[in-house]
Structure formats: C-alpha cells, structure tokens
Structure 1
Amino acid sequence: MITALSIIPILSIVGVAIDAQVTMTQKSKVQSIIDSAVIFGSRAMQAGSPRTEVATDVNAYVRALLREQSTSLSCTGVTLEFTDGTQDLDANIFCSQPTTLSNLFGQTKMDFRVSSGSTYGIGKVEIAFIFDVSGSMGSSGKMGDLKDAAREAVDTLMPDNSNLANPDDVRIAMVSYDTMVNAGDYFTAVTGKNKKRTETATKTEWQQVCQGWNRKGTKCNGGYKWEEVEVSDSVQANNTCVQERIGDEAFTDAAPGAGQWLESGGADLNRYGNASARSCNSIGPLPLTSRKSDLEDYIDDLNDYSSTAGHMGVAWGWYLLAPTWSSVWPAGSKPLPYDEPDAAKAMILMTDGEFNKAFAPSSQGNSFEQAQKQCDAVKATGIVIYTVAFKAPQQGKDILNYCATSAAHAFNPENGQELTEAYSLIAQSISDLRITY
C-alpha cells in the first residue's frame, strides 16, 4: 500500500518531468527566435549597418518575437559576438522558465541558455539576369515595372555602403532577348564573323518553270509547269545579332570556335526574292561585374522589340556564367569554375509571353523544346534557376516552371507590385546563400 509519505517523492519526480518538458518546449521556441535573429543581424551587416546598430536591432527583434509567444519566460538581453575582419556573428541568450508542480518542492524556475551563429558559408556568388524585352513588354507599363523590380533586386544583392570584406564576391551579369540576342562587342568572338558581313537568304517556292526554250533563249517553246525551286539572294549586314547555336554543341556550354560557332543574325527574303538583314534589340550583354552603376545603366536602357526567342535567353544566361566561356569575356568578368569552393551560381529567367521564335532546323526543336534542353543542361552544372513569368500566358508559365530548380524557385507575378516582390524575394534568397547558421 502506498503511504502518504511515499506520494511526496513520486509527485516531486512527476512535477520535475512535467516542468522539464515545458522548459524544453520553450527552449525550442527561443532557439528558433535566436536563429532567426542571427539571420536578421547578418542581413543588416551585409547592408552596411554598424555593429552597435545591429546589436540594438537584434535585441529589439528578439523582444518583439518573445512577446508574440505570450510566455512567462524571463530572458536576458541577447549578447552578440563579432569577429573582426569577417561577417561572422554569434548570439547568446539566457532564459528562465517558472515552474508549476516543481515549485511546490522549492524549485521555482528552470534555467537554460540558447546560442546560434552565422557565417558566410558561400563566399562568392555569380548571378545572371535574363530579361525578355520582346514587343509585348512595351504595353501596359510592363517595361517600367520590370526596371523597377530589377533595380530593387540589384539593391538587395549589392547594398550601398556594404561592409562585405570583398564586394567583388557578388558579381552580376545581364542579357536581354527578343527575336534574337544582340552579342554586342562579343559578336566576332562568338560567331567568327565580322560585324560587316554578307548574309545570304535562301527559300524554296513554287514557280512556273519553262520546259524548253528556243535557241536564243528568248522564248519558251515547251510550255510552263509548276515546280518547287530554290531562290536565294545576298545582302550586306552591319549588326551584331546572333541566333542559336546549331549542331552537336547546341545544348552545351562549349566555347565558341570552329564547328561550335553561334549563327549570325541571317537574312530574310521578301516576296520578290530580295534579301534584307534580320535585326534585333540594340542592347548587348553585360558580363559579370561588381560595378553597380553599370548594372543600373543596363536596366535603364532596356527597351522592347519584336518576338520571343526564350531559348536563346537561357543559353546566353548560361554562357555568362560558364567557365568554358572565359576566353570570350573581359578579365574581370571571367566566371568561376563550377566546382569553386564556397561559391554559387544563379540565373534569373524572366518572360511575359510564349517562347515562339527559333531559327534552327526543326530537328533541333522549337523555342519551347530547345529551352527545355538548355535548362536541363544548365541545372546539371549546379546552377540554380529562378524564374519569373510576368503576366505570362500558360505556355510561358509552363516552360518557366519546367526550367525552375524547384516549384519554390518559380514566381508568377500578375502586376508590378508582385513583380517587385518576386525579384526582391529571389534576391534575398540568393543573399541567404551566403549565410549559414
């Protein structure tokens, strides 16, 4: 039989167990708060905030979250430790949880300490922005919305007065696509041709062909018959437009060269058989740079033009990040190796329409199909792909959803505010690649 005296130690054990469980639950909540606070503080440091301000803001942040928990916890202020010459941040907090049953036996509280820390786990980040500047971007204020969103993303990735140990650790490249891509200053390096060149256009058409001429060749004596004939004409081109690459290296990052050149812009024939050089947007690519002003200038110059060759945009975003293309880009813009320690590469692919323009033979696929193959190859290298389908039709959403690294990397904004939010979230996500805790 259990006596009254034996009940006391049993209650004591049960009381301690219950209070210990409550305390462990509270400790878990505080751990989540401190982990979040460390990320908050690290972002503030990345944005250039001084240490005193970071400490004040982190403590205010933690107090606010603790109040939301509506607990009876009693916690000290957060103690922060900074490491000179780095962006490392460590946080500690000491808390006490009042007891209930244990209080009956003289134990009024249970104490615990929580610690967390952050460090820049990825030292270097390379990002390629890929902008759709096809004709539809010129309507409904979409181009202005895109410029606003892109500027804010750049501000997040390259904050003013940043105290990063090496600002060059964040480099951004930009390229825009429409009917084709303008290779700009890199035209000769990627096509093997001069800017001023001869372009030849060829097509087949049905014509009435004489079946026999007189001796002088001035009169048709044999009658006419409809036949399919090849018509060609040449024209002098003076632009830097390029098409997709054709052949075995169409969906690789192989450096341009013999047997691996990209196709130049080409020419079209009118109904009379006269050739005219194809044209494209006037903006060439901007290779990787840490110069924020160059990126802002590029965004300011964006303008709309013609159709949507999305697969070419994917390819050029890849080329800007591919170490195999180092010979094409300036010394300060050469991409890091794919396996560079403590480094990451990301691509932000944007469109507002359907991928509807391609020049390669049909056996290579249409723009949608070529984009799928390009995206598969890009992701196989470890490059993270974020996608933004801005007011896009279903086909545009489908291809961007396919290309995105995961569903969480795909955004479908329907207005300017949502577009800015999407780019901001992507930029913050990329920034967080640099923080581990």
Structure 2
Amino acid sequence: MTEMVGTHARRDHSPRRAVAASRLLTRRMRRFRRGEDGALAIWSIFMVLMMLMMAGLGIDFMMNEMRRTQLQGTLDRAVLAAADLDQTLDPEAVVQDYFDKAGLGDDLLAVEPVSGLNFRTVSAQAVTQSDPILLQLAGVERLTAPASGTAEEVIPNTEISLVLDISGSMRWSERMARLKPAAQDFISTVLEDDAARTTSVNVVPYAGQTNPGRVMFDYLAGQRYAASGGDYFPEWPQDISNVVLHYDRDGDGAIDYAAKVDGFPDADQASHRGNDLDAFFGLVTDFVARRSAEIDSATVPQGASIRGGEKEAAFFAYAADENGPRPDAGPTENTGSGPDLELAYSDFDAAAMPDPASCLEMRAGDFDDLGLPPAGRPQVPHFMFWPIAADVMDWGWCPEDDTRIQYAQNDAAALNGFIGDMRMHDGTGTHYAMKWALALLDPATRPAFAQLNAAGQVPDGFDDRPSDWNAEGWRKVIVLMTDGQITPQVRPSDPLDVTNATVELQNQPGEARTEITGESTNVQSFYDQCDLAKANGVTVYTIAFEAPSDAQRQMRTCASSPSHYFNVEGLEIADAFDAIAHQINQLRLTQ
C-alpha cells in the first residue's frame, strides 16, 4: 500500500524492519551461546556458596559433637564416683550433682544403681540437644546426641597369703625396718573399709622354717621332738604339777643333785604349753643351768620325774641308750631336805623359755602336691645354725609360736601390730613358706579353718574358707617377699641335745649337724609349689628386696608374669607393696 502524503508517496517498511531485528537477535543469541566470557566467575560463585553451606553444616555437627563429648565425659566421671564403695551419698544424687555442676542437669535421663555385699554398679543415660544454624534451612530444628555408661566397683571375695622373710639377713641395711611399714601399708590398703568384709589375709612369716602354731600342729597330729626315733618322756595323762631334774655331778653313777620346777599351768590356763616334757626338756635344763651355781650347760640330767594329777609320780631316765621309763632306777620324789634348787615355772616361762616352736618337718615329696603336710610329722628341733644377733633376733631355725602364721584375718590393726612385733630368726626356707601359703588357699584346708575358728584363730564368717579353685567372684593371691636365696636344710644330729638351745650348730663340732636337703632340692620344691599355684588360678606376686642374683632368679621364675615380679632396693619396697595392693583392689569402668 502506498500512502500519499502531500504530493509525495511514502512506502511502509515495518515488516522489513521486524525481519531485520529478528535476524539480529538470532545472531546475538548464537554469539552468546558460543561465548565463554564470565563462565569461571559464575562457577567460583557457585563453589563459594557450596563451601559456605558445608562449613555451616560442619559447625552444626561440630557443636553437637562437642556437646556430646562433654556429656559423655561428665557421665563417666559421675558414675565412677557414684560406684565407689567408699561413697556414702546416694548414687543418684552423686550423678545428678555432677551434671548440675557441669550445667547439664536437664540432660540426665536416668540413673540405675545396684548394690550388693561386695559390689556397686551404677548405670546412667543422658541425651543432649543443640540448635543448628544452617540445618534449620533444611527443616532440622534440633540435633540430639545420647550418652550412656556403667561403672562398677567390685571387691571380690579375696584370699591373700602374704609371705614375709624374717631371716637374719633382714637386719642388714635397715631391711626389716623398711619392710614392716611397707607390709603394714599393704594390709591397710587391701583391708580398707568395705574390703575387710570380703578379704582375708594369711600372714606367713618364715625363716629357716615356717611355724603354723600349736593349734594347726595338733590338728595335723604333729609329734613333738620325735625326730630322733622316739619320745624320751610320755604324754602325761593329766596336768603336770611339777618336774624334778636329777643330776650326777661327779660322774660316779649316783644322783647327787635335784632341781625342781614347780607350778606348771593346767590345760585351762592360757600359759599352758602341753603335758609332754619332750616339748621343752632341753629348755628346762638350760633354765636350771643358768639359775644354779652347781650345774653348768654341759651337765646333762640323768633323768626327770614327773608329778601331776592322781597318777603316781614316775622317773624317766635320760642317758645314752637307756632312755625311757625306769620306775626303780631313780627317785620319784625328794625327801628329807627336799630338792637342792626350787624354781617357779612362771619364771621359766616368762624369762627362760621362748614360746615353743611348732614347725613340722616336711619331705621332698610333700612339695609335689597341694594342701597341708601329712599328719603325724615330727617337730623341727629348737636350734640355730649361724651366729645369732641377739639384739634383733630370737633363737630358732623355726620361728617361735608368737611369730606363727596368722590365719584368714581381716582386722588390719591386729595384723599391723603383729607385723610390727616380728623378730628375725635363722635360715631361709622359702619353699616351706610357699607350701604353707598355697595350702591356706586350698579348699581342702576348710576343715582345718573350722578347727582354727573354734580355737579363735580364724574370724567368724571365714571358717568356710578357702573357696573352691577358680570360683566365680573369688580370687586368690600370694604375695611373696624375700631378701635371700633358698638355703640348705640342716638339723642337729641329736635334736634333744641341750647344747642346741644355747650354741649355734656352726660353732659345734661337725658331727653335731647333718644336712637333710640340699639347696637344689629345696629350690625345685619351691618351683613345684609356684607351678601348682599358677596352675590353679592363684595370682603370684614376688618381691626380691636387695636380693642376690640367685634369689632374684627364684622370685622372677615364681611370679605369674614379669609384671608380677618386683626387684627393689631401699625405700622402693614400699612402692612395690603399694602397687600390688592397688592392683588387688581397684575400680574399673565397664562400658
């Protein structure tokens, strides 16, 4: 169409322009599609946004994990404190108090305490929440983290044999002075508070031998001083009233001197020592020799007469091969002016005679088995081998009865007093001590414990010990300390020679002594008992205290493992006992 404007005509170009604009736009779109300017900037912006998002999420999760870690740590500490058997507060209150002080009081869900005679278990559950930052954009309004744990303190029913070397070498370098407080601290730790209800301790002191005491000696039908082949004097059927010793001072075969010891205590008296003169004949003669100007220690009585009860007094010879009852060969009572010397048994008992020693002889075969020594064994004679240091030692290869084994005790004060009063004796018979230590953990020893309980030597409640081997909830431990290697076992050739009560065997002629077992045999006997202990589930700790290499090897071999063996010097003895005591009684986290 042509529009006439005035005298001129004008054409309409709109379609043509539209086509041109479309073509221009197409060309520009094609260039835009193929263009790469600014692409890296866009990708960088995208990645920065993603990194910011991930960082935000990480902060959310990190804050939640920090809160969970704080919660779990607080819970662990709280249940440990609440499970402690020494804790007197209510377990739930203890746990709640820990959470409150940590600012987590609202997070604690539940506390479940369970207590028994020898244990306490405390379980707790908690949950914490935190407000996320970026996760809220994804619809997560809360993050939660749970925590739980259980703590248990168990004081197992524990039986301990504490074996202590009191041989003469312990007097050197203040060893005994350092041993005593270390052992006492051990006792105080293992018997602390509630542990005393479930823990029993046998204290086994030893020198050349180990003294089980009169009650155990009689339970095992021990034979007093019968090692020479027979009794010189019979067991008197009634309480002895007095004993008269008869002497031939000039050697003409006629008795010319009599010494009377009067006032023997009856069986119902605490100072009663028995009605067998064999048990202390040598010591009585030594007592007379020290009190009489007419008799010296080398003068042996021709015999003795015994009076007591309704039984007629009888004379018993004591000379060469003519020992035994000889009613017509000697006087049975003193007539006329009476005895030449009269002494009171109370003086003899308190001043002249140490507590009688009640060690039992053992044979090498006894160490192949568990349990107490067989019945009917003879008594170890009263003697010393090496010279005595009388200021710190008492006479005897066998410790005296006041240093006997203490059975299944749980009174820390009484045991510590006993340890404090111990005095040293002669020899190192570690194999005997180990035999007794293990026997007192053997369930076959229960009848003996019942007998000891009846005699007041085992507390009520412990008379049914020892427990079965490897019984659930029970453990058995031996702690053995020595400063020397195991020695040979020597004996006087004449066990009843009165010289043995005053002169050491080393200072007597060689024929006065004999060796019954050598060192190698005794060491093997020791190892046999160590192996039996470990095979029956007993944990064996050993301490070599300033000991020579042989003793160190013996202790290391006996211990349950290298970590159960301690080689110490000086004040380190206290550290060793302390470490063992805390291993025996410890608190543990179970979950």
Q: Give the TM-score, by structure 1 length.
A: 0.69
Partner AA of 1:265 in structure 2: V
Pick from 343, 366, 374 the counterpart of residue 257 of structure 1: 374
Displacement, 1:156? Answer: 1.6
For the 8 Å contact 1:75–1:93, the answer to whether it is kept is no
Structure 1: tracts of 5 or more residues without a match: 64-73, 202-231, 271-276
Counterpart of 1:150 in structure 2 is 183
| Residue 198 of structure 1 pairs with residue 230 of structure 2 | no
Q: Which amino acid aligns with 1:183?
A: P
3-state SS of 1:316 partner:
helix
- In structure 1, what is the Cα distance between the partners aligned to 2:577 and 2:323? 42
Looking at structure 2, the residues matched to 435 and 264 of structure 1 have their Cα atoms a distance apart, in angstroms, of 51
2:358 corresponding residue in structure 1: 240
Listed one character per residue, the Cα deviations across residues 182-223 of structure 1 (whole Å, up to 9, x for unaligned) are 1212453465324x433329xxxxxxxxxxxxxxxxxxxxxx
What is the Cα deviation at residue 348 of structure 1? 0.8
Cα offset, 1:47, TM superposition: 3.4
Bigger mean CA offset, 97-106 vs 49-58: 97-106
Residues 117, 434 of structure 1: alpha-carbon distance in 2 compared, 3 angstrom cutoff:
closer
Aligned counterpart for 1:188 among listed residues 206, 209, 217: 217
**Residue 168 (structure 2) aligned to one of 111, 130, 135:** 135
Partner Cα distance (2:96, 2:488) in 1: 51
Show the counterpart of 2:11.
none
| Aligned position for 1:400 | 555
Secondary structure at 1:240 match in 2: coil
Alpha-carbon offset, residue 177 of structure 1: 0.8
How far apart, in 1, do the equivalents of 2:96 and 2:199 lie?
Answer: 25
| Structure 1 partner of 2:427 | 307
Quick one: distance in 2 between partners of 1:262 and 1:12? Answer: 89
Partner residue in 1 for 2:145: 112
Aligned partners of 1:281 and 1:58: how far apart in 2? Answer: 55
User: What is the aligned-residue RMSD (CA, Å)?
Assistant: 4.7
**TM, length-normalised to structure 2:** 0.53
Structure 2 contact 206–428 (Cα < 8 Å) conserved: yes
Structure 2 counterpart of 1:427, one-letter code: A
Give the secondary-structure state (helix, strand or coil) at the position aligned to 1:199.
coil
Q: 1:172 aligns with which of 185, 194, 201?
A: 201
- How many angstroms does 1:328 deviate by? 1.9
Asked whether the 8 Å contact 1:182–1:280 carries over to 2, the reply is yes
Q: Is the 8 A contact 1:239 1:279 kept in 2?
A: no
How far 1:122 moved relative to its partner? 5.9
Amino acid aligned to 2:432: M
The SS at the match of 1:315 is helix
Show the counterpart of 1:420.
574
**1:46 counterpart = 2:166:** no
Q: Is the 8 A contact 1:78 1:93 kept in 2?
A: yes
8 Å Cα contact 2:79-2:95 kept in structure 1: no
Q: Who wins on radius of gyration, i.e. which is larger?
A: 2
Which of the residues 380, 399, 407 maps onto 1:281?
Answer: 399
Q: Do the aligned residues in 2 keep the contact of 1:198 with 1:234 (CA within 8 Å)?
A: no
Deviations along 1:46-90, whole A, 9 cap, x unmatched?
A: 335434799389949x98xxxxxxxxxx97699665335562223
Letter of the aligned partner of 1:401 in structure 2?
R
2:68–2:147 contact (8 Å) kept in structure 1: yes
1:144 Cα deviation after fit: 2.5
Name the CA distance, whole Å, in 2 between partners of 1:116 and 1:250.
48
What does residue range 339-418 of structure 1 map to in structure 2 within 5 Å? 339-358=470-489, 365-416=520-571, 418=572
Q: Residue 67 of structure 2 contacts residue 128 of structure 2 at CA under 8 Å; is this kept in 1?
A: no
Which amino acid is the alignment partner of residue 323 of structure 1?
P
Tell me how far 1:292 sits from its aligned partner.
2.8
Show CA shifts across 1:306-337 (max 9, x none).
22111112111111111111222234343111
2:129/2:145 contact within 8 Å kept = yes
Q: Deviations over 1:164-187 (max 9, x none)?
A: 6xx531211111111111121245
* Percent of aligned pairs with the same amino acid: 23
Question: Residues 240 and 265 of structure 1 are in contact (CA less than 8 Å); yes or no, is this contact kept in structure 2?
Answer: yes
| Cα distance change, pair 101–376 in 1 and its aligned pair in 2 (3 A) | farther
Higher strand share: 1
